Structure 1
């Protein structure tokens, strides 16, 4: 019986911490994002996403500087969104070129490709920033490991390890998905 009360107390503390964090900082984060984006709706969506990520933290009470933490998290969400839009735009441009050469692509194929891109984006979302960035710079921008190493201020062998770890991560995520289906 004591386990339930400890777990219940911990859950209550986490809920209280989250409620206080949300109450004290949501308006500020929304305003900060609105100034950056110039769009209240997108700012509201990103603020919501930032607080969803806070919910997934093991110890939200360990956040010492909430506004700095939330701004960093929201900034990362902005970067992830920009990357996703860049991937989608590159794909749509490739489709437009292909359509010009061989007729319009099937709308179902476009939809399937965009779903695949979203799936890839979701798989990459949980990775460390430099690891994810190394992979994207390699695969999207076509940079060599040496060029990526200079940009990320790490060694080329570290970049190689980053890219390899992303590939293993994606393989494991796909394998886990296939085994549950």
Structure 2
């Protein structure tokens, strides 16, 4: 089998290299040529290939197209000017903001947990899950009026212990 590859390389190597240079560019043409022969060599049944030259040229053409596509993607997503690390913005909040939010959440939950369980659930279902009073009532097995009363009771308790400023507009919708 090595003699076949040697023979094919001597017969088609220069021609394939010239083809790869025309299809892509001189800097990667040798790599494409070597890769085409490598793929031919790795073929499970080399003698089953009817036209080795056609196989090599088709492989080189595909490799050239892949290299071109890769280069186009690289050019599309490479900025025109170098980007300084200081210019990159992290989409996550700053660590101190994360800690502050975590502390606020813990404070909110500790105050909410002071209420009876059914009042907690009514508030969570209504204000955090967005259920209507009849839906809260059905979920908890209570009347709609009780659901409304429990949510109001939770609001009073939270405002009394946390204040209006702490709760903000997010929960008052």
- Bigger proportion of residues as helix: 1
Alignment TM-score, normalising by the size of structure 1: 0.41
Alignment TM-score, normalising by the size of structure 2: 0.42
